[in-house]
Structure 1
Amino acid sequence: METLEKIEVYEVSDDGSIIENYLWDAYEINEAISEDRHIIQFGWQGSLYEPKWDFVKEEWVEGLTDEEVRQREQEIIEQQSKLNEADMQALAILELAMEIEKLKGGS
């Protein structure tokens, strides 16, 4: 029995939003297409926060507005900043613990 190569495909709604992604072989893809499902057989290039299929351009586009993209980017920057603050606090606690050990007569 021959095994068919499976590829990642995306099923999208009528407005191009991703419904689900699958790992399918050619038979499964053709079966879904014959059922009039929108199956996109390749992913997007670059970074998109919410990929959306543009049926006119026949390509993936950003599903968020420019304002929503800016908001997501700001959230990422804030999250990275919080992680850095947490690292700094952990380092300060470690240094404090070492100083306490020295005061207790440890090495």
Structure 2
Amino acid sequence: MRKEVFEVDGQGFIIENYPYSEKEIQNAIDNGKSIITKGWQDLRLFKPKWDFETEQWIEGLTSEEIAEREALIAEQQSVLPDQDLNAIALMELASTVYEGGE
């Protein structure tokens, strides 16, 4: 059975993820690779980083970088997609035509 594992560099940042069997995991570790079998999907991380001391995933971005990403996300969420803008324009046009017809 295969499971998703993560190869990390000396700082704990992800190099690549692989679907490895237990034997492949052991071979990679035996070959000197840092293989992490625990995922971070239950955590909200922009740039996952493995902390070798606590053996947990942590945020790899600085507080400033996190704030920038959160601001960008908020900005993107506040902008309506073209499809929604077109729908609003059509409703306004229909309202104008209807009011003009009375």
SS of the counterpart of 2:44? Answer: coil
Quote how far apart the aligned CAs of 1:46 are: 1.4
The letter for the 2-side match of 1:29 is I
User: Which of structure 1's runs of 4+ aligned residues deviate more than 3 A?
Assistant: 96-102
Q: Quote the Cα distance in structure 2 between the aligned partners of 1:40 and 1:79.
A: 33
The letter for the 2-side match of 1:67 is E
Unaligned runs of at least 5 residues, structure 2: none
User: Which residue is 2:67 aligned to?
Assistant: 70
The percent identity for this pair of structures is: 44
Quote how far apart the aligned CAs of 1:80 are: 0.4
User: Which residue is 1:28 aligned to?
Assistant: 24
The letter for the 2-side match of 1:56 is E
**TM-score normalised by L of structure 1:** 0.80
Please state if 1:80 is matched with 2:81. no
SS of the counterpart of 1:8? Answer: strand
Q: Quote the Cα distance in structure 2 between the aligned partners of 1:83 and 1:63.
A: 31
Quote how far apart the aligned CAs of 1:91 are: 2.2
Quote how far apart the aligned CAs of 1:92 are: 2.6
Q: Quote the Cα distance in structure 1 between the aligned partners of 2:94 and 2:37.
A: 57
Quote how far apart the aligned CAs of 1:23 are: 0.8
1:91 aligned to 45, 65, 87, which one?
87
CA RMSD of aligned residues (A): 2.4
Q: Quote the Cα distance in structure 2 between the aligned partners of 1:54 and 1:92.
A: 48
1:12 aligned to 4, 8, 14, which one?
8
Equivalent residues, number: 99
Unaligned runs of at least 5 residues, structure 1: none
2:44 aligned to 44, 47, 50, which one?
47
